[in-house]
Structure 1
Amino acid sequence: MTTPTTPAPSETRTTATGATGATEAATITVRLFAGAAAAYGSDTATVRGATVAEAIRDLTAGAPADATTAIGRSSLLVNAVACTDHSRVLADGDRIDVLPPFAGG
Protein backbone atom coordinates (compact mmCIF):
# COMPACT_ATOMS: atom_id res chain seq x y z
CA MET A 1 0.00 0.00 0.00
CA THR A 2 1.38 3.41 -0.91
CA THR A 3 0.80 6.65 0.91
CA PRO A 4 -0.94 9.33 -1.18
CA THR A 5 1.12 12.36 -2.19
CA THR A 6 0.27 15.46 -0.18
CA PRO A 7 -0.78 18.43 -2.33
CA ALA A 8 2.17 20.75 -2.88
CA PRO A 9 2.40 24.54 -3.31
CA SER A 10 1.60 25.86 -6.77
CA GLU A 11 5.28 26.20 -7.72
CA THR A 12 5.85 22.51 -7.03
CA ARG A 13 5.08 19.89 -9.68
CA THR A 14 3.76 16.73 -8.05
CA THR A 15 3.69 13.29 -9.65
CA ALA A 16 2.84 9.90 -8.24
CA THR A 17 3.72 6.40 -9.31
CA GLY A 18 3.77 3.22 -7.29
CA ALA A 19 6.83 1.19 -6.43
CA THR A 20 7.48 -1.84 -8.59
CA GLY A 21 9.60 -3.77 -6.11
CA ALA A 22 9.01 -5.21 -2.67
CA THR A 23 9.99 -1.92 -0.99
CA GLU A 24 7.19 0.59 -0.53
CA ALA A 25 7.51 3.87 -2.43
CA ALA A 26 8.55 6.85 -0.33
CA THR A 27 7.55 10.48 -0.75
CA ILE A 28 10.66 12.41 -1.78
CA THR A 29 11.33 16.13 -2.21
CA VAL A 30 13.47 16.96 -5.24
CA ARG A 31 15.27 20.28 -5.62
CA LEU A 32 16.47 21.19 -9.10
CA PHE A 33 19.15 23.78 -9.77
CA ALA A 34 20.30 25.96 -12.69
CA GLY A 35 19.59 24.53 -16.16
CA ALA A 36 17.75 21.50 -14.76
CA ALA A 37 15.26 23.77 -12.97
CA ALA A 38 14.85 25.99 -16.04
CA ALA A 39 14.21 23.01 -18.33
CA TYR A 40 11.86 21.33 -15.84
CA GLY A 41 9.88 24.52 -15.23
CA SER A 42 10.17 24.41 -11.45
CA ASP A 43 12.91 24.28 -8.85
CA THR A 44 11.09 21.76 -6.62
CA ALA A 45 8.98 18.66 -7.05
CA THR A 46 7.46 15.97 -4.87
CA VAL A 47 7.86 12.46 -6.27
CA ARG A 48 7.37 8.84 -5.22
CA GLY A 49 9.90 6.05 -5.40
CA ALA A 50 11.41 3.23 -3.38
CA THR A 51 14.85 3.89 -4.92
CA VAL A 52 16.70 6.83 -6.43
CA ALA A 53 16.08 5.38 -9.92
CA GLU A 54 12.32 5.17 -9.29
CA ALA A 55 12.20 8.72 -7.92
CA ILE A 56 14.06 10.05 -10.97
CA ARG A 57 11.78 8.03 -13.27
CA ASP A 58 8.76 9.60 -11.54
CA LEU A 59 10.35 13.06 -11.80
CA THR A 60 10.93 12.75 -15.54
CA ALA A 61 7.61 11.07 -16.40
CA GLY A 62 5.82 13.59 -18.59
CA ALA A 63 8.61 16.17 -18.25
CA PRO A 64 9.83 18.03 -21.34
CA ALA A 65 12.57 16.20 -23.30
CA ASP A 66 15.18 18.87 -22.49
CA ALA A 67 14.41 18.49 -18.77
CA THR A 68 14.84 14.71 -18.98
CA THR A 69 18.19 15.20 -20.75
CA ALA A 70 19.37 17.80 -18.20
CA ILE A 71 18.36 15.61 -15.26
CA GLY A 72 20.05 12.57 -16.82
CA ARG A 73 23.35 14.47 -17.08
CA SER A 74 23.17 15.85 -13.57
CA SER A 75 24.85 14.81 -10.36
CA LEU A 76 22.56 13.75 -7.56
CA LEU A 77 22.78 14.36 -3.84
CA VAL A 78 20.60 12.38 -1.43
CA ASN A 79 20.23 14.17 1.87
CA ALA A 80 23.23 16.39 0.95
CA VAL A 81 25.55 13.42 0.18
CA ALA A 82 26.70 12.57 -3.37
CA CYS A 83 24.87 9.53 -4.73
CA THR A 84 25.90 7.50 -7.78
CA ASP A 85 24.05 4.34 -6.68
CA HIS A 86 20.61 4.72 -8.22
CA SER A 87 19.49 1.49 -6.51
CA ARG A 88 19.81 3.24 -3.13
CA VAL A 89 16.63 2.75 -1.08
CA LEU A 90 14.81 5.91 -0.08
CA ALA A 91 12.64 6.73 2.93
CA ASP A 92 9.81 9.20 3.36
CA GLY A 93 11.22 12.69 3.79
CA ASP A 94 14.49 12.08 1.95
CA ARG A 95 15.63 14.86 -0.37
CA ILE A 96 17.29 14.56 -3.77
CA ASP A 97 19.17 17.55 -5.17
CA VAL A 98 19.71 17.62 -8.95
CA LEU A 99 22.92 19.49 -9.84
CA PRO A 100 23.61 19.93 -13.57
CA PRO A 101 27.22 20.17 -14.78
CA PHE A 102 28.78 23.59 -14.37
CA ALA A 103 31.06 25.28 -16.88
CA GLY A 104 33.75 27.82 -16.14
CA GLY A 105 36.81 28.00 -14.07
Structure 2
Amino acid sequence: MGEPAGRRLWNRRTLAALSYLAMPVSGLVIRYVTEPAERDAFHTLQSVYLGAALVALFPTAAFLPFLYFNVVPVVWVVAMLTAYNGMAFEFPVVGPLARERL
Protein backbone atom coordinates (compact mmCIF):
# COMPACT_ATOMS: atom_id res chain seq x y z
CA MET A 1 0.00 0.00 0.00
CA GLY A 2 1.29 3.44 -0.86
CA GLU A 3 1.52 6.30 1.53
CA PRO A 4 -1.02 9.12 1.39
CA ALA A 5 -0.01 12.11 -0.70
CA GLY A 6 0.35 14.32 2.39
CA ARG A 7 2.92 12.02 3.98
CA ARG A 8 5.44 11.80 1.15
CA LEU A 9 8.98 12.75 1.97
CA TRP A 10 9.33 15.01 -1.09
CA ASN A 11 6.35 17.00 -2.22
CA ARG A 12 6.16 18.97 -5.43
CA ARG A 13 7.19 22.31 -3.92
CA THR A 14 10.17 20.82 -2.12
CA LEU A 15 11.41 19.17 -5.30
CA ALA A 16 10.98 22.44 -7.19
CA ALA A 17 13.10 24.26 -4.60
CA LEU A 18 15.71 21.49 -4.52
CA SER A 19 16.10 21.72 -8.29
CA TYR A 20 17.89 25.04 -7.68
CA LEU A 21 20.19 23.65 -4.98
CA ALA A 22 23.19 22.82 -7.18
CA MET A 23 22.00 24.06 -10.52
CA PRO A 24 22.20 22.89 -13.29
CA VAL A 25 23.01 19.38 -12.02
CA SER A 26 20.24 19.20 -9.42
CA GLY A 27 17.68 20.32 -12.00
CA LEU A 28 18.69 17.52 -14.34
CA VAL A 29 18.66 14.94 -11.57
CA ILE A 30 15.21 15.91 -10.34
CA ARG A 31 13.89 16.14 -13.89
CA TYR A 32 14.95 12.62 -14.87
CA VAL A 33 14.80 10.71 -11.57
CA THR A 34 11.45 11.73 -10.08
CA GLU A 35 8.00 10.81 -11.30
CA PRO A 36 6.36 13.37 -13.61
CA ALA A 37 3.45 13.91 -11.22
CA GLU A 38 5.80 14.88 -8.38
CA ARG A 39 8.07 17.34 -10.12
CA ASP A 40 7.51 20.81 -11.40
CA ALA A 41 8.85 20.74 -14.95
CA PHE A 42 9.13 24.51 -15.23
CA HIS A 43 11.43 24.87 -12.24
CA THR A 44 13.64 21.97 -13.26
CA LEU A 45 14.14 23.43 -16.74
CA GLN A 46 14.64 26.95 -15.46
CA SER A 47 17.26 25.73 -12.97
CA VAL A 48 19.17 23.98 -15.76
CA TYR A 49 19.13 27.10 -17.95
CA LEU A 50 19.87 29.45 -15.06
CA GLY A 51 22.78 27.32 -13.86
CA ALA A 52 24.22 27.13 -17.37
CA ALA A 53 23.90 30.91 -17.74
CA LEU A 54 25.64 31.55 -14.41
CA VAL A 55 28.46 29.18 -15.35
CA ALA A 56 28.79 30.90 -18.73
CA LEU A 57 28.92 34.30 -17.02
CA PHE A 58 31.55 33.18 -14.51
CA PRO A 59 34.43 34.76 -16.50
CA THR A 60 32.88 38.15 -15.74
CA ALA A 61 33.78 37.51 -12.10
CA ALA A 62 37.36 38.37 -12.99
CA PHE A 63 36.28 41.89 -13.98
CA LEU A 64 33.33 42.45 -11.66
CA PRO A 65 33.82 40.10 -8.70
CA PHE A 66 31.86 42.21 -6.24
CA LEU A 67 28.83 42.34 -8.53
CA TYR A 68 28.95 38.69 -9.59
CA PHE A 69 29.48 37.19 -6.14
CA ASN A 70 26.74 39.34 -4.60
CA VAL A 71 24.15 38.85 -7.33
CA VAL A 72 24.48 35.07 -7.70
CA PRO A 73 23.53 34.24 -4.07
CA VAL A 74 20.54 36.60 -4.28
CA VAL A 75 19.38 34.96 -7.51
CA TRP A 76 19.86 31.53 -5.91
CA VAL A 77 17.84 32.40 -2.79
CA VAL A 78 15.06 34.08 -4.79
CA ALA A 79 14.81 31.05 -7.07
CA MET A 80 14.62 28.57 -4.19
CA LEU A 81 12.12 30.59 -2.15
CA THR A 82 9.77 31.32 -5.03
CA ALA A 83 9.82 27.67 -6.08
CA TYR A 84 9.12 26.50 -2.54
CA ASN A 85 6.28 28.98 -2.15
CA GLY A 86 4.65 27.64 -5.31
CA MET A 87 5.26 30.71 -7.44
CA ALA A 88 6.37 30.36 -11.05
CA PHE A 89 8.79 33.31 -11.05
CA GLU A 90 10.41 33.67 -14.47
CA PHE A 91 13.92 35.08 -14.67
CA PRO A 92 14.28 37.47 -17.62
CA VAL A 93 16.06 35.34 -20.23
CA VAL A 94 15.93 31.76 -18.98
CA GLY A 95 12.30 31.81 -17.81
CA PRO A 96 10.79 32.22 -21.29
CA LEU A 97 13.16 29.55 -22.60
CA ALA A 98 11.95 27.13 -19.95
CA ARG A 99 8.29 27.96 -20.69
CA GLU A 100 8.91 27.43 -24.40
CA ARG A 101 10.32 23.93 -23.82
CA LEU A 102 7.38 22.68 -21.74
Range into which the TM-score falls when normalised by the shorter chain: under 0.3
**Which of the pair is proportionally richer in helix?**
2
TM-score for the superposition, normalised by structure 2: 0.27
**Which of the pair is proportionally richer in strand?**
1
TM-score for the superposition, normalised by structure 1: 0.26
| CA radius of gyration, larger in | 2
